[in-house]
Amino acid sequence: MEFRKLFLHSSVLVLHFAFSSSRDTITINQTLHDGDFLISRENNFALGFFSPGSSSFRYLGIWYHKVREQTVVWVANRDDPIKGSSGVLSIDQYGNLVLHSYHKQKAPVWTTNVSVEVTDYCVAQLLDTGNLILVRDKSESTVWESFDHPTDTMMPGMKLGLNRRTGMNRFPICWRSADDPGTGNFSLRINPNGSPQVFIYWGIKYIWRGFPWPLKSYADILNVSFVNNQNETYSAHSVTDASVILRITLDHSGLLKKLIWHEKDGKWNEFWSAPKSPCDPYGHCGTYGICDPDYLSRRFECDCFPGYEPKSPRDWHILKDASGGCVRKRLESTSLCGHGEGFVKVANVKLPDTSAAVWVSMNMSPTDCEKNCRRNCSCSAYASIDIAGKETGCLTWYGKLMDTVNNREEGYDIYVRVDAVELAEIAQKWNGFLERKDMLAILVVSVVSAWFVIILFTYLWLKKKKERVRNKWNKRWLDTIGRTYYNETSVENQVEGSMSHPEIAFFNLSTILAATNSFSPANKLGQGGFGVVYKGKLSNGKEVAVKRLSKDSGQGIDEFKNEVLLIAKLQHQNLVKLIGCCIQGEEPLLVYEYMPNKSLDSFLFDMAFMERRENMGDS
């Protein structure tokens, strides 16, 4: 008996498994009972009945099939729980998905309610995106999809926002609690006014505001896009790495969270959430207030825009309550229009609420943007913004500036309209700052100059010392050769000594470089095993051939000396005349007279001669 029961049980399980893994659709007259599942083709998502948390109620929902921790992304009957396992999902003769509970005999617990015409073809399919779609005819046009009716989770590919043609507004609403998927009080919605923004609402009250479009662009794992035209206003996201399971959810406490499933840890890792900082709650510093989340250095996170002051100084300074916001200074006495007013920059802020803002043009220079704002007396501020991949946009505000937050990483500069008095005061402060800055600059410059002078002198001294050593060396060498120098008048020759019997000159490397155009390939005459020969022209017009003895010719400086000595002794009609050498660079250089008519032969001969010498030296 026990065995029989066990066998039955396991065969049910096996059947169940085979059934559920193969099925991702239901059609007319088919049913899905509590305990049955639809599994999407790639096993990404499952649809079935579940009980959330400690609740004993049953709900029809969609969850991640590959995620161990049951994570429900969509609930059909969120406000009409089913008691016990009596729930049945089916498609009625009109082609609507209907959810019945045996305890509620007549009216369905939930229905898609999109059609009233009898049909004989209708299929509901759970897709691998987590979308449950209802297809009414064989042309496969979707008449209903769960993505249009979000619960509390935004899925990749889901649209958040309005379809102006159908009047549909898609937005997630949080659960009541972790145990109750019923409609909660927080929602995530797009406000299409002005430049559209995403808000978290509590009822109809703003709790938090996202970045105005199209400013925020994500280049990381999340690709957020937005569309705003006469037909639609929506935002959607995709995940750039298909292997990542990512969800955006509005939890029951009103926190918007972005989470990634970590298979290894077996849990969701939250990588972003809002509201979080003291400046996140909408309008924390009131109208014309600016909130600074890094306010630790100051006593209060709130400040007023330039030209504005706290409306209630007592609340502001003593109670640290900024909800009253700020008001314009000298409100009665000065005008903001046509009386020498101007604009003051407030740098790096999350731009104020753009519900009352207008994109004047997607292609307007900062100067024109300012002119545009100045022209209209009700324009309170403007921002000139570079939108990646697009032109410079001009955003202008009409009316109050609300919910501005300092944001050093992702902020923009805004220019706020101030009266002439404020402008003058700011200019004065700025000048004062400049004076202080001047003092600082002078100090910095003097310290830097002092260091520079010290370093320069040290460098020159070291250079001089090195030169002295080199010259000493040269002199010694020349003494051993027993010759005096050849002076080429226009060549700056820094070698000390007598210039009376010119035989061999010592050239500066710079002279050689100038003569050969820095060993330009165009000046190359030929190449032998001993090195490369370049044509050059000294500053006195004399044409020379410079042989660059390759470093790996294996010759030490002593061999080189002997070479020069030998060639100098062997000056012969048939040989090209050696004028001098250079030993400043890394490679020793020999400078010959250049004879255009018999150049090649001479050089070839010369090279062969040099190579012969080298071999003789080796043996």
Ligand X SMILES: *[C@@H]1O[C@H](CO)[C@@H](O)[C@H](O)[C@H]1NC(C)=O
- In terms of CB distance, is 225 or 562 closer to ligand X? 225
431 near ligand X (CB under 6 A): no
Are 512 and 591 in contact, with CB atoms under 8 Å apart?
yes
Q: Which string of x and - marks every residue 198-237 that binds ligand X (by CB under 6 A)?
A: -------------------------x-x---xxx------
> Which tokens go with 346?
């407030």
Q: Running DSSP on this structure, what letter comes out for residue 245? A: -
d(Cα 194, Cα 357) in Å, to the nearest integer?
Answer: 5
| Cα-based distances in Å from 454 to 57, 269, 445, 448, 449 | 83, 56, 14, 10, 9
Helix, strand or coil, per DSSP, at residue 51 = coil
Residue 300: what residue type? F
113 near ligand X (CB under 6 A): yes
**In the complex, minimum distance from the CB of residue 407 to ligand X, in angstroms, rounded to a whole number:** 23
> Which tokens go with 330?
């000298």
Size of the site for ligand X (CB under 6 A): 19
185 near ligand X (CB under 6 A): yes
30 near ligand X (CB under 6 A): no
- In terms of CB distance, is 32 or 291 closer to ligand X? 32
> Which region holds residue 203: left if phi is over 0, alpha if psi is between -120 and 50, else beta?
left
Residue with tokens 């498609």: 91
129 near ligand X (CB under 6 A): no
257 known member of a binding site: no
85 near ligand X (CB under 6 A): no
Among 111, 335, 348, 487, the residue binding ligand X under the rule CB under 6 A is: 111
Among 176, 257, 483, 524, the residue binding ligand X under the rule CB under 6 A is: 176
> Which tokens go with 262?
């970590």
Among 358, 426, 525, 566, the residue binding ligand X under the rule CB under 6 A is: 358
- In terms of CB distance, is 97 or 576 closer to ligand X? 97
Any idea of the CA torsion for 192, 193, 197, 201, to the nearest 10 degrees? Answer: -80
28 near ligand X (CB under 6 A): yes
Count of other CB atoms within 10 angstroms of residue 580: 25
**In the complex, minimum distance from the CB of residue 77 to ligand X, in angstroms, rounded to a whole number:** 12
| Pair type for strands 404-406 and 289-291 | parallel
Please name which of 329, 339, 279, 332 lies closest in space to residue 304, comparing C-alpha atoms: 329
Helix, strand or coil, per DSSP, at residue 267 = strand
Among 10, 43, 238, 518, the residue binding ligand X under the rule CB under 6 A is: 238
- In terms of CB distance, is 195 or 474 closer to ligand X? 195
- In terms of CB distance, is 231 or 520 closer to ligand X? 231
- In terms of CB distance, is 176 or 374 closer to ligand X? 176
Are 252 and 175 in contact, with CB atoms under 8 Å apart?
yes
- In terms of CB distance, is 415 or 485 closer to ligand X? 415
Site for ligand X in 367-386 (CB under 6 A): 376, 378
- In terms of CB distance, is 336 or 533 closer to ligand X? 336
d(Cα 174, Cα 253) in Å, to the nearest integer?
Answer: 8
29 near ligand X (CB under 6 A): yes
Helix, strand or coil, per DSSP, at residue 462 = helix
Binding residues for ATP: 547
Binding residues: 547
Q: Under the rule (CB under 6 A), what is the footprint of ligand X? A: 28-29, 111, 113, 120, 176, 184-185, 223, 225, 229-231, 238, 240, 358, 376, 378, 398
